[in-house]
Structure formats: structure tokens, C-alpha cells
């Protein structure tokens, strides 16, 4: 993959990429939002398609010379549609946040109300954070999990929705370990006259493999990233289950015809929030969706859940408190308050021991977002390397060793050596160590 042209042309950058590849190969990558894309996906990204301007959509471009990239984009769209059971899809968003920006532009006017998942309970910045455009341009209100259960209570969400009367309700999170009841959310949205938007950035791969509920039959619009559990290139996507006439009255300029939701959202991506699409990344999305349509992708996603649950069981035995008591998906949220260590310190201790996680707020956290009381641990990346329950149980014990001996450098050195030995048994890419 790393080829000799780059080594000769720019040894400085070449060397850094090589070092980063070694780093990825030699540590336990347990950041829940990360994964390892296949060589085929990466190869598609490093191609001539990066040279092409293709503003517009297949068959309706603002530039000539699009006959091949049109087919590429159609392939990506068709594969995404069959993967999720969608009527309509746009594969052009450069990232998850860009996909979400297009949804806001299509569905809301500045000042309109959003009801979203509380950020400190697992929600995402783009669901109304005061430092993000979503909280700056729109009036954000939040629902959250119950203190006793760590889970959502649909009756409380209904009450909140009735009180707020939002224009849009968002579902989706970066640190929630349970599945969502989309039908109940749609009921609430219909009752208060709101749009329902699901952001499945974290769980798209699990949903594609039918290991979690599919939101497409219930949400008006669904967004995702393509690089988390879906294991594709870094990017975003928007989908609609059943594409119907929009209720905002947006009409086609010439004919006066009422546009479908898909057309409204296409316009919100380009020209609404983006310029030219990244055709090399769209090619890589097509490759990744092709991989996700294969039977072994289902086996992979099943293993992701088994691994997260195996790790959760051992951590519970070791006295760790898991928010919501466990997990239905690919991640664990660990409340470290009974272990007398902050999320920030745990992240650093684990980093020294070559286990990469991120500090994370837990619901009703008593620490600031820079310190936090928890860590988030995810199974997708190490499962891609081929690890199964025994390795995840072992990783749980290593994690505990590193955290419970905060000042013992010898312990951290020995854990780091054990992690390295484990990683060597599960090589990441065969082009490593060139």
C-alpha cells in the first residue's frame, strides 16, 4: 500500500505514515468510533478519482467527463440502498457532521426547536451543543437517560416532546449502549408534529448486519458516518426509508412540482452545504458497501457484540460499573467513580500501557468534559483484527491492571509488553513493517 513513489518524493511524510501504521499495529485500539478499513477500501481512495470535479448528481452534473464517476456513484447508492432497505440515499457528505448539517438545512429554519439526546448522556455535538452550529442556529432541548437504569424512558421523552413541541426530534448517540425503540419515537414525533431524524453514525454496521433495529422504516431521515462500525472510508451518508413528497412545500423551480424529500435533501447537500463530492471516497464507499453485503460481514458484527459483552462481563466481575449494566452493541461506557480514578487519568494510564480509549462523560457526571468520570471502550477495531472473546477477556484484565496501579510504572511497562505481544498474533495489514 505505501508505495515507493511517495517514499522518494516526500520521505518526511512517508516516514510519518509509516510510523502511524506501526502505532496502529502495535496498540490495542479500543476507541469505539474507530475501525480498520480494508486494503481494497484504502486502495480505492488513493486513485485518480481524487482529480475529478463532479458537482451535481449522476446524469445531472455541472462538469463534463463524468461518465465513469457517475457509474461509481450509482454503484455506491444502489449498494447502500440494498444494505439498509432505503428508497433514496445521498453518498456525498464528506463526514457525519456534514450529513447532519444537510439535514438541519433541509428540515429546520434558524431558531426552530430541536429535541435531541443529551450530549452528556451519550448524544453527539451536532445534536444541539452550544459550541456547534446546531446549538448556535437552532433552539436545542434535550432528553436523557434515567439515573437508576442508564436507559431511556419513552414516557418521559413523550412528556418532554409535548412540552417543547420541537420541529425535529433526533435519535442517535456516540456513547449509548442500548438499542432504540424507533416505533415509539415515531409515535411521539407524529403526536407532536415533529420530524424524526436518526443519526446511526456509530451503529450503522450493526444495523446493516441486522444485529440492531433498523430505523429506516420509522425515521423521516437517517444519517450516518461510513467509517465507524460500517468499516468504510472516512465519510458520511443520508438515507430515507420511504421517499415521499415533502411537507415543507419545497417545489421544483421550473415545473412547480412538489419535490420529494430526497430531492430536498440532495439540494441541502449540494449546493446547500458542500461543493464538489470526493469521488475517490465515494468509490471507497461503494467498495465498503460491497463488503458489507457479504455474509462474513454479519459474522463480523455478531462477533463485535459478543466481544463487547465478554469484556463487559469480566469488567463487572472486577468491580467496574457499566452504565446501563452492560451492552447491546459495540461499546461499553465505564463509570470509574467507584475506582477513584477520573476518565482523563484512566485514558492516560491506559495510553502508557498501549491501550487506546477515550475519556467520556457518564450520565449525571460530576466532572467537567475535560476530566470526566468515565471511559468509552469499543470492540469494532480489535474484532476486525480477528480477536474473539478470549482476547477481549484478556484485554479487560489488562485494562484493570493498568488502571488499578496508577503509580506503578513497572506494571504499565509489563501491560504494554503484553498488549504488543497480543497485537503481534493478530497482524493488522500485511504491508506493515516494510
Ligand X SMILES: *Cc1c(COP(=O)(O)O)cnc(C)c1O
- In 3D space, the residue among 55, 62, 86 whose CA is nearest the CA of residue 200 turns out to be 86
Angle at 214 between CA 129 and CA 143, to 5 degrees: 30
Check if the beta carbon of residue 44 is closer than 8 Å to that of residue 289.
no
* Residue 234 three-state SS: coil
Dihedral pair phi/psi, residue 374, rounded to 5°: -140, 175
Active site residue 389: no
Residues in contact with ligand X, counted by CB under 6 A, come to a total of: 15
**Cβ 329 to ligand X shortest distance, Å:** 12
The Cα 384–Cα 304 span in angstroms is 8
The region of 40-48, 151-159, 171-179, 292-300 touching ligand X under the rule CB under 6 A is 171-179
The residue sitting closest to ligand X, measured at its beta carbon, is 96
How far apart are alpha carbons 162 and 262 in whole angstroms?
Answer: 28
Confirm whether residue 46 is marked as ligand binding.
no
Query: Is 195 among the annotated ligand-binding positions?
Result: no
Q: Which triple of cell numbers denotes residue 130? A: 452550544
- Cα–Cα distance, 205 to 231 (Å, whole number): 7
Smallest separation, CB 169 to ligand X (Å)? 14
- Cα 96 from Cα 348, distance rounded (Å): 27
Nearest to 359 by CA among 327, 317, 403, 329: 403
- The Cβ of residue 85 has, within 10 Å, a number of other Cβ atoms equal to 13
For residues 197 and 195, give the distance between their C-alpha atoms in angstroms, rounded to a whole number. Answer: 6
| CA max distance for the chain | 73
Part of the chain binding ligand X (CB under 6 A), chosen from 39-47, 52-60, 172-180, 275-283: 172-180
| Closer to ligand X by Cβ: residue 347 or 400 | 347
Q: Smaller CB distance to ligand X: residue 100 or 383?
A: 100
| Binding window for ligand X (CB under 6 A); candidates: 168-176, 241-249, 267-275, 391-399 | 168-176
Instruction: Give yes or no: 234 in active site.
Output: yes
Q: Which is nearer to ligand X, 235 or 262 (CB)?
A: 235
320 catalytic per annotation: no
Which of the residues 18, 22, 55, 153 is marked catalytic? 55
Taking the least distance from each CB to ligand X, the nearer of 100 and 342 is 100
Give the number of other CB atoms < 10 A from CB of residue 319.
10
What are the grid coordinates assigned to 271, written together?
449546493
Residues 105-124 that bind ligand X (CB under 6 A): 124
* Sign, Cα dihedral of 6, 10, 13, 16: positive
- C-alpha closest to that of 95 among 215, 235, 218: 235
Is 63 one of the annotated active-site residues of the chain?
A: no
The reply on whether position 330 binds ligand X by CB under 6 A is no
Residues 183-222 that bind ligand X (CB under 6 A): 199, 201-202
Name the catalytic one among 29, 118, 199, 400: 199
123 labeled part of a ligand binding site? yes
- Ligand-binding site membership of 370 (annotated): yes
Residue among 225, 229, 273, 324 that touches ligand X (CB under 6 A): 225
Q: Which of 25, 27, 126, 356 binds ligand X (CB under 6 A)?
A: 126
CB of 367 to ligand X, least distance (A): 21
133 is in an annotated binding site: no
Binding residue (CB under 6 A) for ligand X from 90, 174, 301, 360: 174
Applying the rule CB under 6 A, the residues between 23 and 42 that interact with ligand X are: 33
228 catalytic? Reply is: yes
Q: According to CB under 6 A, which one of 49, 66, 83, 97 is a site residue for ligand X?
A: 97
- The single residue listed with the C-alpha cell 435519535 is 171
Strands 113-117 and 168-171: parallel
Active-site entry in 81, 113, 234, 405 = 234
199 is catalytic: yes
Q: Which residues form the catalytic set?
A: 53, 55, 199, 225, 228, 234
Contact footprint for ligand X (CB under 6 A): 33, 95-97, 100, 124, 126, 172-174, 199, 201-202, 225, 236
Amino acid at each position: 500500500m505505501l508505495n515507493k513513489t511517495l517514499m522518494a518524493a516526500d520521505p518526511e511524510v512517508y516516514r510519518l505514515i509509516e510510523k502511524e501504521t506501526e502505532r496502529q499495529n502495535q496498540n490495542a485500539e479500543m476507541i469505539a468510533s474507530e475501525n480498520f478499513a480494508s486494503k481494497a477500501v484504502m486502495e480505492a481512495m488513493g486513485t485518480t478519482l481524487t482529480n475529478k470535479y463532479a458537482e451535481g448528481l449522476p446524469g445531472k452534473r455541472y462538469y463534463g467527463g463524468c461518465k465513469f464517476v457517475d457509474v461509481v456513484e450509482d454503484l455506491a447508492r444502489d449498494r447502500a440502498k440494498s444494505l439498509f432497505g432505503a428508497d433514496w440515499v445521498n453518498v456525498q457528505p464528506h463526514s457525519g457532521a456534514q450529513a447532519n448539517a444537510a439535514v438541519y438545512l433541509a428540515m429546520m429554519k434558524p431558531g426552530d426547536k430541536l429535541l435531541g439526546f443529551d450530549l452528556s448522556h451519550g448524544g453527539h455535538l451536532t445534536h444541539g451543543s452550544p459550541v456547534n452550529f446546531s446549538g448556535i442556529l437552532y433552539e436545542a432541548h434535550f432528553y436523557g437517560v434515567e439515573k437508576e437504569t442508564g436507559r431511556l424512558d419513552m414516557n418521559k421523552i413523550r412528556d418532554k416532546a409535548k412540552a417543547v413541541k420541537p420541529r425535529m426530534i433526533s435519535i442517535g448517540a456516540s456513547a449509548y449502549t442500548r438499542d432504540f425503540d424507533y416505533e415509539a419515537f415515531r409515535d411521539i414525533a407524529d403526536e407532536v408534529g415533529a420530524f424524526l431524524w436518526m443519526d446511526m453514525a456509530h451503529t450503522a454496521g450493526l444495523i446493516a448486519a441486522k444485529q440492531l433495529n433498523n430505523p429506516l422504516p420509522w425515521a423521516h431521515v437517517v444519517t450516518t458516518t461510513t467509517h465507524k462500525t460500517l468499516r468504510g472510508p472516512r465519510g458520511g451518508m443520508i438515507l430515507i426509508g420511504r421517499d415521499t413528497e415533502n411537507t415543507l412545500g419545497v417545489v421544483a423551480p421550473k415545473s412547480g412540482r412538489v419535490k420529494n424529500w430526497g430531492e430536498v435533501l440532495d439540494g441541502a447537500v449540494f449546493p446547500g452545504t458542500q461543493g464538489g463530492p470526493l469521488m475517490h471516497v465515494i468509490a471507497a464507499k461503494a467498495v465498503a458497501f460491497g463488503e458489507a453485503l457479504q455474509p462474513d460481514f454479519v459474522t463480523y458484527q455478531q462477533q463485535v457484540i459478543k466481544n463487547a459483552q465478554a469484556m463487559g462481563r469480566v469488567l463487572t466481575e472486577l468491580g467496574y460499573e457499566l452504565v446501563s449494566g452492560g451492552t447491546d452493541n459495540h461499546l461499553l461506557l465505564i463509570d470509574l467513580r467507584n475506582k477513584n480514578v477520573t476518565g482523563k487519568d484512566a485514558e492516560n494510564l491506559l495510553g502508557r500501557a498501549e491501550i487506546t480509549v477515550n475519556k467520556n462523560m457518564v450520565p449525571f457526571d460530576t466532572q467537567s468534559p475535560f476530566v470526566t468520570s468515565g471511559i468509552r471502550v469499543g470492540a469494532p477495531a480489535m474484532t476486525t483484527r480477528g480477536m474473539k472473546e478470549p482476547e477481549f477477556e484478556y484485554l479487560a484484565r489488562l485494562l484493570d491492571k493498568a488502571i488499578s496501579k496508577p503509580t506503578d510504572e513497572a506494571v504499565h511497562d509489563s501491560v504494554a509488553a503484553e498488549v504488543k505481544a497480543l497485537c503481534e498474533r493478530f497482524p493488522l495489514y500485511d504491508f506493515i513493517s516494510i
